[in-house]
Amino acid sequence: MEAQLQRLKAILAEVADLNGAAAVLEWDQQTFMPPGGAEDRGNQQATLSRLSHVTFTSPEVGRLLEALEPHTAQLAPDSDEARLIRVTAREFRKRTRVPADMVAELAQATTAAIQVWQEARAENNFAKFAPHLTKIVDLRRRYARLFEPFDHVYDPLLDDFEPGIKTAEVKKIFADLRPRQVTLIKAIADKPQVDDSFLHKTYDEQKQWDFGVDVITRFGYDWNRGRQDKAAHPFTTNFGLGDVRITTRVFKDSVTSALFSTLHEAGHGMYEQGISPTLSRTPLGGGASLALHESQSRMWENLVGRSLPFWQYFYPRLQETFPEPLRGVSLDSFYKGINKVERSLIRIESDEATYNLHIMLRLELEIALMEGSLEVAGLPNAWNNRMVEYLGIEPPNDSKGVLQDVHWSSGAIGYFSTYALGNLISAQLWERIHKEMPDVDDQIRRGEFSGLLGWLREKIHRHGSKFEPQEFVERVTGSKINPDPYVRYLTEKFSKIYSL
């Protein structure tokens, strides 16, 4: 058994290396690659994707798994070896249904689409992007059909990001959450609005960058194993546990945009940096799911970064950095300003109370695209109509509407619900953290984050993807994904800010 396990690990390491190389190319495409490189980059990505797929789905891997699976009963159920065999076998069964040519075709299509999406958003030209998105939607529909029979055509796509979770489960969670968030938003709307005009004065871009770097350094982001660059749409990527990179974007008329983007991506980055080295170059050497990943980024961005204890420590330092635009702005006014609840057009700029509605809108559109009840040509109108229905505002153009997110251009249909699920998990974890670390707010108030990061390292990060998301959340918090803690968090926080 040991020789077979070592041979399997050797093949999986090769796959990890190929995926890491592809990630380098994708990172470069979104940060430094000149526009003229799109065609060549598409060919390179297609080659690497095909090689990775063929290597992973080889008959040899199948034979090794077949030989190893009977022996898993002799291993401790939660051991790295038992979980590696189980997770690899599950992924092998999925990937062997997918032709290598389809993998390469998607890689080539998305590489071209990302480049065109960037241009289309800058030009407010959905028609330019539509043919590329149509091809991606067709590829995703064909991909889903490879997994028939299924409960819902969206299930195979969702499973790629949230292993084991079904579309019906997500719909049920959202159906429970939506009316309670709408009720809270309506109650806030009836109250006098807070002033956040001071956030939109002129703020030096380099100072914004430096302030964010200082904060996440204090959080524990390891610069020896990471770096930060600018990107049109902030993201995190890793080429291995020793190279985890984040990106942000900076606007001179918004002091919070770059900061909260940096905090968010650092949350993703610290998760990857905290995975046990024993899981490196295996299918276990990444986050358990996108929702677990989002729970980390949203926790550091919102539950920490938008909290009063955080700003009791950092606000005097922010005032020293930007004395003129923040002159006369009290801590209380600043805290309320950064937590202003307002119906907004842009998802990543939206507040905690309305954010999930942006996600539900996208989930419904994705499901409709996969079912065939909505075609790409109808997306702008469908998007705008739902924005009016859910948030009471209509995008003035497609750049601030249907073109604002990078996900569809990268083929990540099935991804969006993970953002809202991540919010829910973050609140579940936050309640557990406060039970086990009652003084965590005092630590944050002193600018100390090692205790919080240490708890996350022990409970979440080090395990990589050994456990499926629902199992993982239940192990740590005592229940599966549950909207109740998030609703409690929002209600308590905004009741104080808006005197509800």
**Fold held by 167-498:** Neurolysin; domain 3 (1.10.1370)
Length of the chain: 500
* pLDDT computed for residue 467 by the predictor: 96
* pLDDT computed for residue 73 by the predictor: 85
Catalytic site includes residue 324: no
* pLDDT computed for residue 38 by the predictor: 87
DSSP 424: H
* pLDDT computed for residue 151 by the predictor: 96
Backbone angles phi, psi at 201, to 5 degrees: -85, -170
Q: How far apart are CA 245 and CA 266, in angstroms?
A: 9
For 41, 88, 146, 168, 418, the CA distances from 150, given in Å and listed in that order, are 34, 21, 10, 12, 20
Q: Answer positive or negative: Cα dihedral of 177, 180, 183, 188.
A: negative
* pLDDT computed for residue 319 by the predictor: 97
* pLDDT computed for residue 98 by the predictor: 92
* pLDDT computed for residue 208 by the predictor: 98
CB 238, CB 244: distance < 8 Å: yes
Q: How far apart are CA 486 and CA 464, in angstroms?
A: 24
The structure tokens listed for 402 are 């249907």
Catalytic residue (one of 265, 301, 352, 366): 265
Backbone angles phi, psi at 239, to 5 degrees: -105, 5
Q: How far apart are CA 84 and CA 90, in angstroms?
A: 10
Residues of the chain with pLDDT under 50: none
Relative to beta strand 243-248, strand 236-240 is: antiparallel
Q: Which residue has the tokens 């395990």?
A: 463
CB 381, CB 394: distance < 8 Å: no
Q: How far apart are CA 153 and CA 351, in angstroms?
A: 31
Q: Which residue has the tokens 């080090």?
A: 462
pLDDT tens digit sequence for 455-474: 999 999 999 999 999 999 99
* pLDDT computed for residue 466 by the predictor: 97
* pLDDT computed for residue 349 by the predictor: 82
The structure tokens listed for 432 are 């557990």
Q: How far apart are CA 73 and CA 167, in angstroms?
A: 31
Q: Angle CA(422)–CA(405)–CA(383) in degrees, nearest 5?
A: 95
DSSP 147: T
CB 453, CB 270: distance < 8 Å: yes
CB-hemisphere CA count at 13 Å for 482? 16
* pLDDT computed for residue 267 by the predictor: 98
CB 352, CB 339: distance < 8 Å: yes
Domain range annotation of the chain: 2-149, 167-498
What is the pTM assigned to this prediction? 0.92
Q: Answer positive or negative: Cα dihedral of 28, 29, 34, 37.
A: positive
